A and B are shown apart, each in its own frame.
Chain A
Amino acid sequence: SQKIEQNSEALNIQEGKTATLTCNYTNYSPAYLQWYRQDPGRGPVFLLLIRENEKEKRKERLKVTFDTTLKQSLFHITASQPADSATYLCALDSSSNTGKLIFGQGTTLQVKP
């Protein structure tokens, strides 16, 4: 069956450290993968897109990798800050024609000062 899995347990790290979140998928062949941030009571906010032919993408303190062989994406936040505390969702396209995005369940990150 098709699955997208993110660590369901919350990730707690100290301010200034690098947070690494994992997204694994099975039985999909996505053309791209996206990462979103969701704060309590708010809608998800788009952060980064990485395509299947890209190994790595960066945006400020964010870095995303995409390994289509391992069927995995890693999301890194360097020099983490308490303001980075949120739930992070990965999403991939399950259909190249419609662009239907399927979301993982998210990983909650807590950055402690």
Chain B
Amino acid sequence: DTAVSQTPKYLVTQMGNDKSIKCEQNLGHDTMYWYKQDSKKFLKIMFSYNNKELIINETVPNRFSPKSPDKAHLNLHINSLELGDSAVYFCASSQGGGQGNGYTFGSGTRLTVV
């Protein structure tokens, strides 16, 4: 059983399109995250949800909108895609956001905007 699963694994799309990435965790964790890893391999946090409540919202263009229908799912919708959005997007989960428990990451979604 995959602990944190993301779909799709690869996404190639044209500029201006709208796309979604889905994430699900079966670990029973209460906190989920979206991170972006750029070409220089920096992992930057975008959003965090705790029990469906948004608790971290970094300086991200409002073209990016997360949605958490329940604590096991955190989806990421991106409107009007731009070339600079090309990156690998990772979903992660943890138990008790501020307690120091390790994150479990998904395998990533490689988004390429052409």
How many interface residues does B have (CB within 8 Å)? Answer: 28
Q: Nearest Cβ in chain B — how far from A105, in angstroms?
A: 5
Q: Which residues of B48-73 have CB atoms within 8 Å of chain A's CB atoms?
A: 48, 55-56
Q: Pick the interface stretch among B12-20, B78-86, B97-105.
A: B97-105
Instruction: Report yes or no: A105 in contact with B41, Cβ–Cβ below 8 A.
Output: yes
Instruction: Report yes or no: B100 in contact with A49, Cβ–Cβ below 8 A.
Output: yes
Contact of B103 among A46, A95, A105 (CB under 8 A): A46
Instruction: Report yes or no: A31 in contact with B100, Cβ–Cβ below 8 A.
Output: yes
User: Does A42 sit at the interface, judged by CB under 8 A?
Assistant: yes
Chain A residues lying within 8 Å of B102, measured Cβ to Cβ, are: 34, 36, 46-47, 49
Residue of B nearest to A97 (CB): B98
Contact of A96 among B48, B56, B98, B106 (CB under 8 A): B98
Chain B residues lying within 8 Å of A97, measured Cβ to Cβ, are: 98
User: Does A100 sit at the interface, judged by CB under 8 A?
Assistant: yes
How many interface residues does A have (CB within 8 Å)? Answer: 27
Q: Nearest Cβ in chain A — how far from B8, in angstroms?
A: 14
User: Does A10 sit at the interface, judged by CB under 8 A?
Assistant: no
Instruction: Report yes or no: A99 in contact with B105, Cβ–Cβ below 8 A.
Output: no
Chain A residues lying within 8 Å of B105, measured Cβ to Cβ, are: 43-45
User: Does B45 sit at the interface, judged by CB under 8 A?
Assistant: yes
Contact of B107 among A36, A42, A87, A101 (CB under 8 A): A42
Task: Enumerate chain B interface residues (CB-CB to A < 8 A).
Answer: 4, 31, 35, 40-45, 48, 55-56, 90, 92, 94, 96-108
Task: Provide a sorted-by-A list of 9 A–B residue pairs whose CB atoms are within 8 angstroms.
Answer: A32-B100, A36-B103, A43-B108, A51-B100, A93-B100, A99-B100, A100-B56, A105-B42, A106-B41
Told that A93-B98, A102-B45, A105-B41 touch, could you supply 6 new A-B pairs with CB distance under 8 A?
A43-B107, A44-B90, A98-B48, A98-B98, A99-B97, A106-B41
